[in-house]
Amino acid sequence: MPTRTCGKYEPLHKYLNDRYATVVVLTLSEIEDILGFALPAGARTDRAWWTVPSPDTPAGPYADAWKSASRTATPNLVARAVVFERVALLNHPPH
């Protein structure tokens, strides 16, 4: 599998990839602490910044941080937190 490029979001990828828990909940402040910089304004106000409808949708290196760690991101902007849930890998039988 080719390595995804997470750019400056690589610390978030590493954090999520190294967690055994199926669900990881992080506040926006905790994410910023992991990254070492402030998230863009859209991350605080727009659910679409976090949700990527298809794994084939190009969403930039920030989404690759959790997608390449086999996780989805579900924001709760009121609580200023994001739930990262591991994606179940399905084994499809050959046709």
pTM more than 0.75: yes
Q: What average pLDDT does the chain have?
A: 84
pLDDT tens track for 34-68: 999 999 998 999 998 898 655 555 566 788 899 88
Which tokens go with 43?
A: 């991350």
C-alpha to C-alpha distances, 12 to 20, 62, 74, 90, nearest whole angstrom: 15, 9, 15, 25
Report domain extents, the chain: 7-86
Mean pLDDT of the region 24-42: 96
The kind and range of the H/E element at 86 are strand 81-86
Spatial distance between the Cα atoms of 56 and 1, rounded to a whole number of angstroms: 15
